[in-house]
Amino acid sequence: MSRHFSQRHGYGTADAEITVREDAPDDLRYGVAEMARTAGMGPKSIRSIACRVLLTAPDRNNWSDYPNVWEEALGLLESCEWYKVYDIAEAIWRALEHDPDRQQEFEHELNRFFREKGIGWELKNPDGIVFRGSEAFGAATSEAAQVLKETGRETAAAEIHEALRDISRRPTPIAPVQSSTLSQRLNAPRAMSQATLKRLWVRWSPSWTCPNPWMWPLRSCGDSRRTARGICAKARMSAPMKRSLS
């Protein structure tokens, strides 16, 4: 039975509009530790998981659970990057696998928090924290996948589930490149491979006759670029001439 009055008697509000995605509000940072403690995890265990995720050594001077270790665990959650908060929440949830009831309790409380605070993520077994859209979005995608599965379209249903998982995977950020460096990279001459020259030759060889270009010596990057331009220019000029003579 739920320990909350509102849940026991069916009181509650509609899900808040999703306004948080790539952020971890202060309430969530505190709430993750509090929900872990409610699920039966002690301060030392919470600190141990946070330190493992963050690759941070625990403070050896903190021995007592309260207030020292508890405050240290809260401090780790408060100071880390926003996405690490979700990593820690996932790690806590997986650490409770030996006790399914407590794991389910943590999962339920975290998802309730996400819905009430308008956070666009959801903890699902066995995937972990995944993308959460609006209620209408979730109902539509779930119904579509179910209908496809019932009508024998197993592959299509699997594709929908895979697409939803892909939404949850954020691409790895690319380090910013200074404008001067980017300009140098774009304008720098690039060596043309033998294979590229061969493809040009195969494409244009019916229009004109010349020695095999992949046999030409390429002395430098600049030479290879000029060679490529020459091949294309000669091909453009030779093809109309050949058609006019035929």
**pLDDT tens, 14-45?**
899 999 999 999 999 999 999 999 999 999 99
Buried b (16+ CB within 10 A) or exposed e, 117-128: bebbbbbeeeeb
User: Which range among 110-124, 149-163, 181-195 shows the weakest confidence by mean pLDDT?
Assistant: 181-195
SS3 20: strand
Domain boundaries, the chain: 14-129, 134-170, 190-245
Higher confidence at residue 192 or residue 35? 35
Alpha-carbon distance values, 101 to 95, 138, 236 (Å): 13, 25, 73
Q: Does the predicted TM-score (pTM) go above 0.75?
A: no
Q: What is the pLDDT of residue 166?
A: 56
Task: Tell me the residue ranges of DSSP E strands in the chain.
Answer: 121-124, 128-131
Please give the mean pLDDT across all residues of the chain: 75
Q: Looking at residue 186, what is its pLDDT?
A: 45
Angle separating helix axes 221-245 and 194-204, nearest 10 degrees: 10
Per-residue CA distances from 92 to 45, 64, 106, 121, 167 (Å): 9, 21, 9, 16, 23
Please state, in angstroms and rounded to a whole number, the distance separating the CA atoms of residues 15 and 176: 37
d(CA 88, CA 47): 10
Question: Mean pLDDT across the stretch 209-238?
Answer: 46
